[in-house]
């Protein structure tokens, strides 16, 4: 347990939305370089909330939070974009930009980072081909099916070769075969060095992949033995 | 399942060798959606602002020009008035003054205004052909003075007083002061209007930029989450506002130029005496100044939008 660098670390973290009681309480956890975690728990347990804090959309209301070994709770606003660029997120509701084409949506993280189009054009089309949307690159999200949107969202999350991949129900809208393919892709990317957290309800997939599982219930995060238990 | 497996086996090679159609030379879309319906009113408002800015600038230029025309005319002109109880007394006074003027350096021209002309000028006050008064009408000598003389009038004033005690020299200083005072306040007013218009453009831009951010909240938040800096988003907004602003500003400029031309034609058609009214003729460099007004409107709009976005975003996480 001493190996990789810390990617995410929460210490006694708590999250409360406005005046509501805490959605997450006393979360203490560490994710290291090269680790893969599933995140499970009933609907409304706080899986998305936990991911939101990691991708810097929400601040914890108490406790400490380190991202890539930087103190993210105290990081100045100017430091956030650089941290966010190291994270690829597949949002539960996809969050694609409807006025852009599939290609442009996938290219967005690169464009925003000021990368020249010549340097990402091939990666973008390769990814879109990989997710089976090579012939829909010019389609806008409103004309795509739920599963197709999810795959565009997946491609966008991966295009910048992030150090940390966060996927919120990434297989919720695709057929089981595609779901399995996507999970295997995460495993491959994890082997290449990316840390991965996948929030999912699909216990069948969790079992077939065999990676450690974090369970959220009653506001607490607990480790339950993953089906395979390695790491 | 079989289909997917097929895909699986093909994927590595397929991904690498997939045809890349239409990607080269692709024009990437702006990251914020076209303003569409929201763009038109903003363009219209900017057009109005730029129209007003051009008119304010035009009046500033006209007042400037009129003021310099009036004052330079006044500055080169001196009049000497010779009074007297009788025509003979006036006559001899005029002779004496003309003699002094003739050997004063800097006098370019000195002419006695004919009595008839003077009488004509006075007619409205004296009534038609009032002979009695006519006899004692003071003589007026118009002098064109070089600037050197103009700056040193006291000596001439004394010499004229010595030669003809009933003569008095008028350098129009009072008029000059009044005219340039009036011109200055005219300029200040036109400039004030110009500034007000710029202020209004600013306020509209702040309002529109905030509304735009609120309307595009989801897009802005996605841009942030994929790593966009505030500067990046602000620059996008600035570009958007610059284009809208330019469109509006050009509309405003053409409308204002058309209005000026129409006003100029109407003035000319309305009769000759535009001597005293600011003229509407526009020189080449004046057009440049006029064009600067919409450019200023457009820049003010764009830069304000950018600053507004930066400020608004800095209050978010
Ligand atoms: N922006 C918000 N404001 C207030 N409450 C929120 C907000 N987002 C989430 N919540 C609440 O926090 C709790 C956890 O929500 P969250 O979305 O994290 O659950 P989840 O585990 O992702 O559920 P699901 O499996 O349905 O996606 C829920 O009770 C939800 O109502
Ligand atoms: Mg969720």
| Position A139 in a domain | yes
- Looking at the structure, do residues A132 and A107 belong to the same domain, yes or no? yes
| Position A56 in a domain | yes
| Position A92 in a domain | no
- Looking at the structure, do residues A214 and A106 belong to the same domain, yes or no? no
User: Cβ of B14 under 8 Å from any chain A Cβ?
Assistant: yes
- Looking at the structure, do residues A150 and A166 belong to the same domain, yes or no? no
User: Cβ of B4 under 8 Å from any chain A Cβ?
Assistant: yes
**Considering only CA atoms, which of A145, A130, A136, A78 is closest in space to residue A105?**
A136
Predicted complex ipTM: 0.91
* Pocket of ligand 1 contains residue A44 by CB under 6 Å: yes
Among B5, B23, B226, beta carbon nearest to A112: B226
**Considering only CA atoms, which of A80, A22, A69 is closest in space to residue A50?**
A22
CA distance A84 to A77: 11
Q: What is the span of the domain harbouring residue A122?
A: 97-156
Q: Provide block-wise average pLDDT over 10 residues at a time, chain B (317 residues).
A: 46 40 45 64 90 90 80 79 83 86 82 74 67 68 82 82 85 79 88 92 92 90 94 92 91 90 77 50 73 90 94 87
Residue position matching structure tokens 């003309």:
B98
| Position A38 in a domain | yes
CA distance B256 to B57: 11
**Considering only CA atoms, which of A169, A88, A49 is closest in space to residue B226?**
A88
Counting the structural domains of chain A, the total is 2
User: Cβ of B314 under 8 Å from any chain A Cβ?
Assistant: yes
pLDDT at B145: 82
SS3 call for B113: coil
CA-A92 nearest atom, ligand 1: 27
Confirm if B110 and B98 have CB atoms less than 8 A apart: yes
| Position A27 in a domain | yes
pLDDT at B257: 87
Half-sphere exposure of A185 (CA within 13 A, CB side): 22
- Looking at the structure, do residues A129 and A152 belong to the same domain, yes or no? yes
- Looking at the structure, do residues A167 and A148 belong to the same domain, yes or no? no
Q: Which domain-ending residue is among A156, A183, A199? A: A156
Nearest CA in chain A to B1: A177
Q: pTM score, two decimals?
A: 0.77
User: Considering only CB atoms, which chain A residues are within 8 Å of B311?
Assistant: none
Q: Could you tell me the CATH number of the domain that includes residue A17?
A: 3.40.50.300
- Looking at the structure, do residues A33 and A117 belong to the same domain, yes or no? no
| Position A230 in a domain | no
Three-state secondary structure along A103-134? HHHHHHHHHHCCCCHHHHHHHHHHHHHHCCCC
User: Cβ of B223 under 8 Å from any chain A Cβ?
Assistant: yes
Q: Going by C-beta distance under 8 Å and a sequence separation of 6 or more, which residues neighbour residue B146?
A: B106, B107, B108
- Looking at the structure, do residues A136 and A179 belong to the same domain, yes or no? no
User: Cβ of B23 under 8 Å from any chain A Cβ?
Assistant: yes
- Looking at the structure, do residues A216 and A103 belong to the same domain, yes or no? no
CA distance A149 to chain B (A): 15
CA distance B251 to A221: 61
Q: Are B31 and A156 within 8 A, CB to CB?
A: no
Q: Which residues of chain A have pLDDT under 50?
A: 1, 226-231
**Considering only CA atoms, which of B198, B177, B191, B253 is closest in space to residue B64?**
B191
**CB under 5 Å of ion ligand 2: residues:** A 47-48, 92
**Considering only CA atoms, which of A112, A88, A113 is closest in space to residue A163?**
A88
Residue with CA at minimum distance from ligand 1 atom 10: A17
Confirm if A36 and A4 have CB atoms less than 8 A apart: no
- Looking at the structure, do residues A178 and A71 belong to the same domain, yes or no? yes
- Looking at the structure, do residues A141 and A50 belong to the same domain, yes or no? no
- What is the DSSP pairing of strand A62-67 with strand A6-15? antiparallel
CA distance A31 to A27: 13
Q: Which domain-ending residue is among A156, A174, A191? A: A156
- Looking at the structure, do residues A18 and A114 belong to the same domain, yes or no? no
Q: Are A107 and B28 within 8 A, CB to CB?
A: yes
User: Cβ of B231 under 8 Å from any chain A Cβ?
Assistant: no
pLDDT at B166: 86
- Looking at the structure, do residues A39 and A139 belong to the same domain, yes or no? no
**Considering only CA atoms, which of B249, B280, B260 is closest in space to residue B61?**
B280
**Considering only CA atoms, which of A46, A75, A186, A99 is closest in space to residue B223?**
A99
| Position A26 in a domain | yes
Q: Which ligand has an atom closest to residue A219 CA?
A: 1
Q: Are A77 and B314 within 8 A, CB to CB?
A: yes
How many angstroms is it from A42 CA to the middle of ligand 2? 9
* Pocket of ligand 1 contains residue A43 by CB under 6 Å: yes
How many angstroms is it from B315 CA to the middle of ligand 2? 26
Among B7, B34, B230, beta carbon nearest to A132: B7
3-state class percentages of chain A: helix first, strand second, coil last, to nearest 5: 35, 25, 40
Among B15, B28, B29, beta carbon nearest to A117: B28
pLDDT at A110: 95
Buried-state track A211-225, b at ≥16 Cβ within 10 A, e below 16: bbbbbbeebebeeee
| Position A10 in a domain | yes
């Amino acid at each position: 347990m001493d190996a990789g660098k810390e990617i995410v670390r929460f210490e006694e973290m708590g999250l409360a939305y406005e005046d509501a009681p805490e959605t997450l309480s006393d979360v203490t956890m560490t994710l290291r370089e090269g680790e893969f975690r599933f995140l499970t728990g009933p609907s409304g347990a706080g899986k998305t909330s936990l991911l939101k804090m990691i991708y810097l959309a929400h601040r914890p209301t108490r406790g400490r939070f380190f991202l890539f070994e930087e103190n993210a709770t105290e990081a100045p606003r100017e430091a956030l974009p650089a941290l966010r660029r190291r994270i690829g997120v597949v949002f539960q509701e996809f969050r694609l930009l409807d006025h852009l084409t599939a290609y442009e949506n996938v290219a967005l993280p690169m464009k925003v980072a000021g990368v020249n189009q010549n340097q990402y054009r091939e990666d973008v089309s390769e990814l879109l081909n990989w997710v089976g949307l090579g012939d829909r690159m010019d389609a806008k999200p409103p004309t795509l099916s739920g599963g197709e949107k999810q795959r565009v969202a997946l491609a966008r999350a991966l295009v910048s070769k992030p150090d940390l991949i966060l996927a919120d129900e990434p297989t919720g809208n695709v057929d089981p075969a595609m779901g399995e393919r996507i999970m295997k892709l995460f495993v491959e990317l994890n082997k290449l060095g990316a840390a991965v957290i996948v929030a999912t309800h699909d216990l069948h997939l969790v079992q077939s992949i065999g990676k450690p599982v974090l369970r959220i219930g009653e506001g607490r995060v607990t480790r339950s033995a993953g089906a395979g238990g390695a790491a | 399942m079989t289909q997917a497996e097929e895909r699986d086996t093909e994927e590595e090679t397929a991904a690498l060798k997939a045809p890349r159609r239409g990607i080269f030379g692709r024009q990437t879309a702006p990251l914020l959606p076209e303003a569409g319906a929201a763009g038109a009113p903003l363009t219209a408002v900017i057009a109005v602002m730029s129209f007003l800015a051009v008119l304010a600038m035009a009046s500033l230029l006209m007042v400037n020009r009129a003021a310099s025309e009036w004052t330079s005319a006044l500055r080169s002109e001196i009049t000497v008035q010779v009074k007297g109880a009788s025509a003979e007394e006036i006559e001899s006074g005029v002779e004496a003054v003309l003699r002094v003027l003739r050997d004063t350096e800097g006098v370019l021209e000195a002419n006695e205004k004919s009595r008839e002309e003077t009488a004509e000028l006075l007619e409205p006050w004296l009534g038609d052909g009032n002979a009695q008064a006519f006899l004692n009408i003071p003589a007026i000598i118009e002098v064109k003075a070089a600037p050197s003389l103009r700056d040193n009038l006291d000596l001439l004033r004394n010499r004229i007083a010595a030669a003809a005690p009933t003569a008095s020299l008028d350098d129009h200083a009072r008029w000059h002061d009044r005219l340039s005072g009036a011109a200055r306040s005219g300029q200040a007013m036109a400039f004030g209007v110009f500034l007000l218009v710029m202020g209004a453009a600013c306020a509209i831009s702040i309002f529109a930029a905030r509304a735009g951010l609120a309307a595009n909240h989801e897009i802005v938040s996605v841009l942030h989450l994929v790593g966009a800096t505030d500067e990046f988003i602000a620059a996008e907004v600035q570009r958007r506002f610059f284009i809208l602003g330019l469109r509006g500003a050009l509309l405003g400029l053409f409308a204002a130029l058309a209005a000026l031309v129409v006003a100029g034609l109407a003035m000319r058609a309305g009769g000759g005496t535009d001597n005293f009214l600011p003229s509407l003729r526009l020189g080449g460099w004046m057009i440049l100044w006029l064009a600067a007004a919409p450019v200023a409107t457009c820049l003010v709009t764009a830069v304000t939008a950018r600053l507004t976005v930066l400020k608004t975003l800095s209050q978010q996480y």
